[in-house]
Structure 1
């Protein structure tokens, strides 16, 4: 039986591969600010090649349905924490005012291949 931490790490790996297959570039993983963390920071180029968007991604993985839908675990408190990490990340790297959004990737493990649901702009933008 896999531990919660192992399921989380596997979920992050699956989410990163999923995003990369869709043209995103993973910039960072497990970015921390104080005691808070965001799982993935990605860059999504635009089709017009006029820049792109920085995407902060919270990954939630589940191996069963007993704890509800993974995306529901990203509550208001978690959203505020992710926004604080994002603000620090952008400030530290002098990326303000880059277009930025917040996504959630839910990974469902079961029999066979993991099922991935990607919720773009799950809870807001920074511009």
Structure 2
């Protein structure tokens, strides 16, 4: 598989995981300037009277040669995601809304797909 195919398969698996866990997908591959957020999702709370917007970065790997997928979300990537998230909230007039930043690591091992979801993976706005 090409890098693009691995990325697309990883994002598709992450979307399926989120939807299976009750999330609503609001946007995929939202771009601002030259940067992007892979998934914007809404997680309703248990009482269904509110919830939280999750900005989700997906990292997929087909092997372990480059380290763990989530390790690729370094400080520079986190700052870029925050900039795009702020633009998304501003464009959609969703400020202030409860938000968080998640990372989903997808391990593609042949036909088997393993997913790790790291909620509140990094920082806050500011």
User: What TM-score, normalized by structure 1, do the two folds share?
Assistant: 0.96
Aligned length in residues: 125
Counterpart residue number, 1:103: 102
CA distance in 1, matches of 2:98, 2:61: 30
Q: Does 2:80 align with 1:81?
A: yes
Q: CA deviation at 1:112?
A: 3.4
Partner-residue secondary structure (3-state), 2:112: coil
Counterpart position of 1:10: 9
List runs of 5+ in structure 2 lacking aligned partners: none
Q: Distance in 2 between matches of 1:72 and 1:36?
A: 19
Task: Name the structure 2 match of 1:93.
Answer: 92
| CA-based RMSD | 0.9
Give the match for residue 58 of structure 1: 57
Gaps of 5+ in 1: none
Partner of 1:29: 28
TM-score by length of 2: 0.96
